[in-house]
C-alpha cells in the first residue's frame, strides 16, 4: 500500500511523505508547529494523512515571501583564523550596539 492510500502514517512514513527528517519533525512537534498525533498505543503515535496534507497547504500560506528576500548566505568559518576573525567581528558589533543604546 502506498503512502497516498494510507489513512494514518507513522512518524517515519510522515518523514518520507513530506521529505523532512524524523528529527526535524520531532523538533516541530516540540515547538508546537506540527499536527496533533493520535495515540494508537502507549508507545505508538500515528498521524492522519489528511492532517499532514492540510498542514502542508497551510504552511505554504504561512511563509512570508519577504523572508526569502531577506535571506543572505553566510560562510561558516573553516579554519581557526576564520573563527577568530568571526568572533572578533561579532564582539565589535556587540560593543557598537551597546554604545548605541547607552
3-state secondary structure of 38: strand
Sequential pLDDT tens for the chain (102 residues)? 666 678 899 999 999 999 999 999 999 988 888 999 999 998 899 999 999 999 998 876 655 555 555 556 667 778 899 889 989 988 998 888 888 776
- Classify domain 8-63 at the CATH topology level: Molybdopterin biosynthesis moea protein, domain 2 (3.90.105)
Could you state, in order of their start, the residue ranges of all structural domains in the chain? 8-63, 75-101
Q: Which residue, among 62, 61, 47, 59, has the nearest Cα to 16 in the 3D structure?
A: 47
Amino acid at each position: 500500500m502506498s503512502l497516498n492510500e494510507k489513512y494514518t502514517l507513522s512518524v517515519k512514513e510522515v518523514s518520507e511523505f513530506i521529505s523532512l527528517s524524523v528529527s526535524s519533525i520531532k523538533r516541530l512537534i516540540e515547538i508546537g508547529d506540527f499536527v496533533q498525533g493520535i495515540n494508537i498505543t502507549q508507545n505508538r503515535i500515528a498521524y492522519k494523512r489528511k492532517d499532514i496534507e492540510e498542514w502542508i497547504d497551510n504552511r505554504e500560506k504561512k511563509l512570508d515571501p519577504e523572508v526569502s528576500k531577506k535571506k543572505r548566505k553566510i560562510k561558516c568559518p573553516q579554519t581557526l583564523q576564520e573563527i577568530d576573525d568571526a568572533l572578533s567581528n561579532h564582539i565589535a558589533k556587540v560593543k557598537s550596539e551597546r554604545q548605541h543604546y547607552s
